[in-house]
Structure 1
Amino acid sequence: MKVTVGDGMAATTTGSSLAYTPRFDFRDLQLIVAGYADPAGRERELSETFGSMRWLWSQDEYVRFDRDSRELRSLTFFVPPQWIREGPSFRDGPPTRAAGLRADAVGEFAVPGTTVFHCGSGADALSCLADVRLVGREPDARLGVAPAVDLLVYEGAVAGWSLGDPARYLTDGFAAPPSGPPAPATRLRLAECLELVSSPLVDRVMDREPEAWRRLRVVERALREQREDRGRADVLHGVISRLVEDYEG
């Protein structure tokens, strides 16, 4: 299968998806699928790969291919700032197809960040789309390029991504996520936190609207008092408590 990645890079699907465990860094709202474990490792990889990355003032995603084999090497996707109530439709769409990618040629390209995201109340999946016009539409293909990570293809182009059970992969920075499944409470809190740190709700928090602040304090207290799954709860609480400190006045 041929797909377009970013602003014009053509790639062909392969049978070799990435084996790395995803890391969902909630502090910086980024999904890291890579073999490196720190920013220095990311920098070292740049000399061995080609593709898209963030430059000064750009909001591009990291999509890197090995310079020798042209095989997909790593991904870093950023959660966009706009929360939406509805996401892409997967109900009757194609199932996930495990696949890698091989770039058709060596060259730099840009992959602009997605613009809207959806995460249901049970946080069963986090889905990010390049264009709000794709909301509610079924993708033409779902390429499972790593465990729980799908690229969403519309009309031959990668136009979004999805992370299944994002609470399972919660972490801070480049650290490996906790082992074992998340607690049900963590999944609920994650969905609430994603809405709280994104527009339009975060704008109402910054404007100190009473209902927005009531919701913020309820979530902060629930995370502070949660007894199970403390590692993941601490990751979420660190971000939410800082939001309280920054805007409580």
Structure 2
Amino acid sequence: MVTARQLRFDGGWSATVTNEPLRLVPRFEGRTVRVVPYTDMTEREGFLLNTFGSQEFLWDMPDVIRFTPAGRQLVGAEFRVPEEPASAEDCARVPLEPPVRPGGLRADEARDFRHEMTSVHCRASGDTVLTCLRDLDVLNGPLDARIGIARDMALLVQHGTVVGWSLSDPARYVTTPYADPDPDPDPPTTAVRRLFTECLDLITQPLILDVEDGEPAALERLRAADQDLRDQREDRHRANALRTFISQLVEDYLDTPARRQS
């Protein structure tokens, strides 16, 4: 039987909630949110080698949740943002209760497991909160708990099972891949918040499908966002990070040899 302090993950694996959330700042990297101590690929490989839990393998891409062998404490996690968006009506049903309770996790046993990534994302008005859910059935009932494993980062729990996660004020945590995040990031500028919303639109459905189909209006939005990000004079770190969100789309659908040389 699962107690109120015990959480189930996929495959019957479980962990106990502790009073020690991670002292790490989330990194929003476009399609992935990382709460991890490493800052490059080599360090990431060492991190995975020296911890246990859920991790990707070849073409299998579950969420990454890692624990120390000695003490079995949560030390980092990576969550992928699914492309599939929920409707505005479903996003309005995302529960705001109960309040987030800060806490870490301690694995109940030291073995690897697999935790499936979420299938749908919900964006609050103004992109103040990004919520990713196992499926929309989660919205048919209340949550048991929201466990804040790091600043503004919470696991969503229903019937004792982890059914999703949320990141509050995601624009604040925008960064380039593997960049060492600011331990106390300043709020984004109004312009960058607007461009954050536009970039999220561009890399998720349905707009990304229009870009890939070469729809003129969608390509114009992509072109305008890229130019606006180039022209930003304030909040340059986030503006540069947002350009990486859409860089592959720009290269695939807008770039010409002349533009690459500019």
Give the TM-score normalised by structure 1: 0.91
2:42 corresponding residue in structure 1: 40
Aligned counterparts of 2:56 and 2:34: Cα–Cα separation in 1: 14
Which of 207, 213, 226 is the equivalent residue of 2:219? 213
Deviates most, 49-58 or 229-238: 229-238
How do 1:1-249 residues align onto structure 2 when only pairs under 5 Å count? 1-26=5-30, 29-86=31-88, 87=91, 89-91=94-96, 93-135=97-139, 138-178=142-182, 179-248=185-254
Q: CA deviation at 1:166?
A: 1.0
Gaps of 5+ in 1: none
Q: CA-to-partner distance for each residue in 1:63-98, whole Å, 9 max, x for gaps?
A: 01111101111101111121234436234x100001
- The alignment yields a C-alpha RMSD, in angstroms, of 1.9
Q: CA deviation at 1:189?
A: 1.4
- Asked whether the 8 Å contact 2:176–2:240 carries over to 1, the reply is no
Q: CA-to-partner distance for each residue in 1:155-179, whole Å, 9 max, x for gaps?
A: 2111111111111111111112354
Q: Secondary structure at the match of 1:127?
A: strand
Distance 1:248 1:136, change over 3 A: farther
Number of residues paired by the alignment?
Answer: 246
- Asked whether the 8 Å contact 1:61–1:77 carries over to 2, the reply is yes
Aligned counterparts of 2:46 and 2:247: Cα–Cα separation in 1: 34
Q: CA deviation at 1:238?
A: 3.5
Distance 1:231 1:104, change over 3 A: same
Match of 1:17, as an amino acid?
P
Match of 1:116, as an amino acid?
V
Q: Secondary structure at the match of 2:59?
A: coil
Match of 2:209, as an amino acid?
D
Distance 1:203 1:144, change over 3 A: same
Match of 1:133, as an amino acid?
D
Distance 1:241 1:103, change over 3 A: closer
Q: CA deviation at 1:137?
A: 5.3
Aligned counterparts of 1:241 and 1:56: Cα–Cα separation in 2: 24
- Asked whether the 8 Å contact 1:11–1:101 carries over to 2, the reply is yes
The structure whose residues are more often strand, as a share, is 1
Give the TM-score normalised by structure 2: 0.86
Q: CA deviation at 1:235?
A: 1.4
Distance 1:142 1:99, change over 3 A: same
Match of 1:16, as an amino acid?
E
- Asked whether the 8 Å contact 1:17–1:146 carries over to 2, the reply is yes
Match of 1:100, as an amino acid?
G
Deviates most, 200-209 or 132-141: 132-141
Q: Secondary structure at the match of 2:195?
A: helix
Q: CA-to-partner distance for each residue in 1:11-68, whole Å, 9 max, x for gaps?
A: 1111011111111123xx2111122222222221233321100001111111011111
The structure whose residues are more often helix, as a share, is 2
Aligned counterparts of 2:151 and 2:77: Cα–Cα separation in 1: 12
